[in-house]
Amino acid sequence: MSILMAPVKDGKFVETDTQNSLKKATSSDNNGMDKDAFLQLLVAQMQYQDPLEPTSNTEYISQYAQFSQVEQMQNMAATSELARATSLVGQEVYIKTTNSKGESQLKYGKVDYVVFENNKAYLAIDESLYSLEDLDTVVDLDYKNAFDKAYDFTVELNKLPVISSIDLSYAEKIDKLEKIYNEMTDYEKSFLTDENVEKLKKYIEKLKEVREAAGEGDEGEDKDESDTEGTEGTEGADGSGGA
């Protein structure tokens, strides 16, 4: 499994996103006060109490009640975390990760399944595990696709020069952008700014003017017909066609 392996670079192991996430989850567990630590403190208190002034039974009962409350709270938290993680199966999410250089970045993917271990939930994305604590954003797939489509459209639109510089060499790009826009749904178009929509219209109008000035499509429409006129019936014109 990929979660058990680490790539090697320059003779050293490189920590993967999964290992980094699991390390942070384990570290956060060690920093907390769990029921086992609480029980150890209670046993130590009983073991090292002053024999001349022993702790009363009432105090022990009170502490045991506190211990039970801690255990119940932890069980409730674990159940809540598992339910939350399970609800994310099949969802598109962004996970906060840290690369080998210590730089923060986001990992995008679909949650395939959930692993629950030591009261901690881990999200499986592309066969790698990430702590639920590292969840950054849950994204609707339709929203992401529409956003990405509008973003790519805007990038290509902004690559075009100023309107006055448009010539036929940009015809293919403008035609492609016009086609993409016309095929967008109303929802996808809502991700475009009014400014960019107006810009596209100006490019389309400018290209139309350039084409009219160049006289595209006005010449040679019936050229093939005139070239072939009168060629019918020429077979055997020299009289050699008969048997």
Q: 65-102: per-residue pLDDT in tens?
A: 676 676 677 777 777 788 888 888 999 999 998 877 88
What tokens does 232 get? 């019918």
Residue 224's pLDDT band, with cuts at 50, 70 and 90, is very low
Tell me which DSSP letter residue 18 carries: H
Per-residue model confidence (pLDDT) at position 82: 81
Reported as a pLDDT band with limits 50, 70 and 90, residue 21 is: low
Average pLDDT, integer, range 196-204: 96
Phi and psi torsions of 40, nearest 5°: -65, -40
The whole-number average pLDDT for the span 139-143 is: 92
Phi-psi domain of 120 (left: phi exceeds 0; alpha: psi -120 through 50; beta: other): beta
What are the C-alpha distances in Å from 51 to residues 39, 63, 81? 21, 19, 44
Question: Per-residue pLDDT for 10 more than 70?
Answer: no
Q: CA 45, CA 184: separation in Å to the nearest integer?
A: 70
Cα 204 from Cα 177, distance rounded (Å)? 9
The pLDDT mean for the chain works out to 76
Residue whose C-alpha is closest to residue 171's, from 203, 201, 215: 203
- What does the pLDDT read at residue 195? 96
Higher-confidence residue of 118 and 5: namely 118
Check if the beta carbon of residue 118 is closer than 8 Å to that of residue 26: no
Distance of CA 120 to the CA centre of its chain: 24
CA distance 39 to 35: 6
Mind listing the pLDDT tens digit for each residue in 142-165?
999 999 999 999 999 999 999 999
C-alpha–C-alpha distance, residues 170 and 160, integer Å: 8
Weakest-pLDDT range from 101-110, 174-183, 231-240: 231-240
- 227 or 86, which is more confident? 86
Positive or negative: CA dihedral 193, 195, 197, 203: negative
Confidence check: pLDDT of 53 > 90: no
- Is it the case that residue 220 has pLDDT exceeding 80? no
DSSP string for 181-235: HHHS-HHHHTTS-HHHHHHHHHHHHHHHHHHHHHTTTSS-TTHHHHHHTT-TT-T
Q: Rg for the chain (alpha carbons), in Å? A: 36
Q: Cβ of 27: how many Cβ atoms within 10 Å?
A: 9
The pLDDT of residue 83 is 86
CA dihedral of residues 75, 78, 82, 83 (deg, nearest 10): 60
Position 241 scores a pLDDT of 43
pTM comes to 0.54
